[in-house]
Amino acid sequence: MALIYPVILCGGAGTRLWPISRKSMPKQFLNLTSKDSLFQQAALRVSGPEFEDPLVITSNDYRFIAAQQLADIGIKSNAVLLEPSPKNTAPAILAAAGKIYDEDPDALMLVVSSDHYIPDQAAFTELVAAAKTSAKLGAVVTFGIKPVRPETGYGYIETGQKLSDADGFVVAGFHEKPDGDSAKKMIEQGGYLWNSGIFLMQCKIVLKLAEQHVPDMLRSVRQSLKLGKLDLDFLRLDETSWAEVEADSIDYAILEKTDDLTVFSFSRRWSDLGDWQAVMRELSADRKTDPKGNLLVGKASQIDSHSCLIWSDNPEQIVAAVGLNDLIVVAMADAVLVVNKEQVQSVKQIVDLLAQQKFSQAVEQPRQFRPWGWFETLVLAEGYQVRRVHLYPQTQMSLQTHQKRSENWVVISGIAEVQLGERLVKLGANDSLDIPAGTAHKLSNPADVALTLIEVRTGTYLGEDDVERL
């Protein structure tokens, strides 16, 4: 039995969920709905006996985050393709199709987003299985979500004739995100589904369609794939060829020009968690609100408030609300958002404003990820900085020096191996080490468990660019 090749699109920034989601750590990698991130949920959703290992398409910024999160849930990727720059969904899907086709010319590919919330995994698997026959016969299959409200944030698929031998329908047309009145009319009329952006098709079929409708795009994508370079476990698409690719969605570039297009309806819960209203709606379905319709997350408390989401992301920080109505309040250690529920779509605008004002909080999380692990600043003041540093098992930093600062490391848990000048120093829990300015040093974690330490920086300049790698 031919298996399905999953393709996970994983490049979005998700700024409408700021401050939880930021460019440095967007929503797909966050644990918004469970102990697993949305990306991990997507990978688990397309794993099992029906599927090959997933192919992931992401950017250079997220390559190590994606790889680590897959490793954390025990899933091995078929490949991780790195886009030199975002070009919307059509080029990404064509790159994946080309990569898979070169390995298996008859392969079926299932394209999914990394940030969707679909609680009923079994129902989703059944839906994909039901659509498989249509895809094997040459149809491009898209999946529509049975609408439960007149949503204006989604595109709509108009269904045509029902397929005689399956649960799907011929696609009669696509409709852009409607206004409120148009969305209400479509819901009342029936025969319309939300466009999920999930597709099942043969790689050779989508490549053939691209040759017909967007030949220049396909040519540049194929060249970028051909000239791509392996970097560790990643395949970097060729930057020069990729720069010639026109950005476009798969809907505009190919699907709306395709005759043999079918849609299968999914009637279970689904959300792209596109704004804080959506997050509150989905979390409220999984965990009960209080009698006044408030949803409290983390260390949050309220009195005399109604229909609010009050979210504390910092376990050391309490958020207390009094007399609020229809507000979203999200507090992190370095940023707080307060927004009316009816204006959540404007969160992106305030993030853009913060970026223009050069606030680092617009794009950077307090926790910064690196190939070896992550760090976060606990205290930053004139002349000193305190950071928590976390190294994954069997990883190491580069050999380096700092000219303007000294460092002191205190191991909290795990084992540290430090090259300090000509010496090799081993540290365990509660051990400490001074690193004078100008001294070459390298930190390694030789163990099979994580290493956590506290780093205290002192000096005239504490910026990340005070580093010389040796």
Q: Which of these, 359, 388, 452, 375, lies nearest to 22 by C-alpha position? A: 359
User: Would you put residue 74 in left (φ > 0), alpha (ψ -120 to 50) or beta?
Assistant: left
- Look at strands 234-236 and 79-83 and give their pairing: parallel
Cis peptide upstream of residue 147 (ω within 30 degrees of 0): no
Residue 316 tokens read as 């050391």
pLDDT at 165: 63
pLDDT at 1: 55
Would you state the torsion angle of the CA atoms of residues 228, 230, 233, 238, taken in this order, to the nearest 10 degrees?
-30
294 by Cβ neighbours in 10 Å (0-12 / 13-18 / 19+) ranks as: buried
Task: Give the span between the Cα atoms of 200 and 88, in whole angstroms.
Answer: 18
pLDDT in tens, the chain (470 residues): 578 999 999 988 778 999 999 999 999 999 999 999 999 999 999 998 999 999 999 999 999 999 999 999 999 998 999 999 999 999 999 999 999 999 999 999 999 999 999 999 999 999 999 999 999 999 999 999 999 899 888 899 999 998 876 678 999 988 888 888 899 999 999 999 999 999 999 999 999 999 999 999 999 999 999 999 998 889 999 999 999 999 999 999 999 898 889 999 999 999 999 999 999 999 999 888 999 999 999 999 999 999 999 999 988 899 999 999 999 999 998 999 999 999 998 999 999 999 999 999 999 988 888 889 999 999 989 999 999 999 999 999 999 999 999 999 999 999 999 999 999 999 999 999 999 999 999 999 999 999 999 999 999 999 888 999 98
Segments making up each domain of the chain, as ranges: 4-266, 276-356, 372-469
Q: In what order do the strands lie in the sheet with 405-413?
A: 367-370, 373-381, 384-391, 451-459, 405-413, 432-435
- Name the 3-class secondary structure at 171: strand
Q: Which of these, 346, 316, 344, 343, lies nearest to 331 by C-alpha position? A: 316
pLDDT at 338: 97
- Contact criterion met (CB below 8 Å) for 299 and 315: yes
CATH class of 4-266: alpha beta
Q: Which of these, 395, 406, 351, lies nearest to 371 by C-alpha position? A: 395
Q: 10 Å Cβ neighbour count for 153?
A: 15
Q: Which of these, 72, 79, 73, lies nearest to 5 by C-alpha position? A: 79
- Contact criterion met (CB below 8 Å) for 135 and 141: yes
> What phi and psi, each to the nearest 5 degrees, are found at residue 40?
-65, -40
Output the CA angle 272-178-362, nearest 5 degrees: 45
The model's pTM is 0.91
Domain 372-469 indexed as CATH 2.60.120.10: yes
User: What amino acid is encoded at 284 in this protein?
Assistant: S
